[in-house]
Structure 1
Amino acid sequence: IDIVIAYSGLRDILIPVRDRTILNNLKINFKKIEEISKINDTIGYHVYCIENDEIYCRNFAPLYGIEEEAATGSSNGALFGYLYMNSIIKKVEPIAYQGENYGHISKIFGKIKKEGDNKIKIYIGSEF
């Protein structure tokens, strides 16, 4: 899976990692994320892994004063769309778990609806 810039109202850099151990133990360079976000005109990084058919993620937006976000609807909407449109996931009601490293997991629910040729609409909800 590639690193991509995805859009669902805001532009995010989607970065896959191999597993939750890596995801939960990232060494974050907020200054570098800020610089790269500025160069690419993005909000920040949305780092994720897929483990046992479940999506886990972390979100960093230091350019906008958010070191780490506990639940991110727009970023997960972009992630769901990217994963679905590229056949990486098949679920039309994916769930992302965010904040595991905090010890307070947020569930972000998606509902993907096909809207004609190569178009989808994504609805997002959450549970904290």
Structure 2
Amino acid sequence: MRMLNYNLLDVFTTTLFGGNQLAVFSNGEGLTSEQMQMIAKELNLSETVFLFPPTTERRHFKLKIFTPAMELPFAGHPTIGTAFLLGEKKMTPYSHDGLTALTVEENIGLVPLHLYAENGEITKAEMIQPIPEVTDQMLDYKACATLLSLDEQDLDTELPIQTISAGIPFLFIPIKSLEAMKKIQFRMDVWQKLFSNDENKRHIFAFSVETEQEDAHVHSRMFAPAMGISEDPATGSASGPLGFYLVENKLIEHHDGLITIISEQGIEMGRPSRIEITLERIEGKISKVLVGGSAVIIGEGSLRLP
């Protein structure tokens, strides 16, 4: 009987029972993909991470990331949560004040990260994401409204419905108001009929620039049945593309330089999350995308595996 040790975290929050849940297994060596998938399904969190030694020099760890239904090439809150855990558990050296750079491997490739600390305490983890790309555009506002149990007039039809990807494609649907965001009821029957068979339309991200928190810029909800996630309280891998959408469609005014956008998510689920998106723009083009936030280690445990 093999005992597998893991930590539980809440990610993109500074308080217990907020943010997005994550399990990180400290040693995945010897596990098959089938076993890791079974464990992720058993825990039934939105994502579960397994750590492996790096395959190249000067990399800190290799991450294998699973939802209850599938392995992911890349994901935001597991990457941020794992980086935070590595610092908190002293599994990687870091500066006790200021910024420390580290790099992990994922199926998408190398992911550069930053750890921020004050007085020896980790305050934030941040990842550098690939520059997002628009991969598709959808013109059927009525179908998207029906998918979300909204009226077509609840959608902002002056803005595009676009699929944008920084490794995983998300379909971004602009909603006019916070009131409409709270009315959303995701319809699986519509999703299965009209969205599920197109990889550019499977993962649904609805947003509004009306927010609950004064310092937030965008209110977000994400639905990913194909990943085994009915709704996600915090989606780091979609946040870089979200920032890209907001800037490129002029919902947030931005000239050359750095801009930070705060996305609030998970509020309707009772798991409020706060995601920090930083974009760098040079000569009118986005040249760097960073997504970061804090995390809380909520517990630890072990799992028996024959």
Does structure 2 retain, via aligned residues, the 8 Å contact 1:45–1:59? yes
The reply on whether 1:47 has 2:210 as its aligned counterpart is no
TM-score w.r.t. length of structure 2 = 0.39
Q: Show the counterpart of 2:232.
A: 69
Deviations 1:31-75 (A, max 9, x none): 433451432434510000001672001000001111101100111
Which structure is higher in helix share? 1
Runs ≥4 residues deviating over 3 A: 40-43
Does structure 1 retain, via aligned residues, the 8 Å contact 2:195–2:202? no
Does structure 2 retain, via aligned residues, the 8 Å contact 1:16–1:48? yes
The reply on whether 1:84 has 2:247 as its aligned counterpart is yes
Identity %: 24
In the alignment, the residues of structure 1 paired with residue 232 and residue 195 of structure 2 have an alpha-carbon distance, to the nearest angstrom, of 18
Q: Show the counterpart of 1:96.
A: 263
In the alignment, the residues of structure 2 paired with residue 120 and residue 47 of structure 1 have an alpha-carbon distance, to the nearest angstrom, of 25
Any idea what SS the aligned residue of 1:38 has? coil
Alignment gaps of 5+ in structure 2: 1-158, 296-306
Does structure 2 retain, via aligned residues, the 8 Å contact 1:10–1:43? no
In the alignment, the residues of structure 2 paired with residue 28 and residue 87 of structure 1 have an alpha-carbon distance, to the nearest angstrom, of 28
In the alignment, the residues of structure 2 paired with residue 104 and residue 84 of structure 1 have an alpha-carbon distance, to the nearest angstrom, of 27
Higher relative contact order structure (alpha carbons within 8 Å, sequence separation ≥ 6): 2
Does structure 1 retain, via aligned residues, the 8 Å contact 2:171–2:200? no
Deviation at 1:118, TM superposition (A): 2.3
Does structure 2 retain, via aligned residues, the 8 Å contact 1:110–1:125? yes
Across the two proteins, how many residue pairs are aligned to each other? 128
RMSD of the alignment, in Å?
Answer: 2.1
The reply on whether 1:33 has 2:191 as its aligned counterpart is yes
Bigger drift between 33-42 and 75-84 goes to 33-42
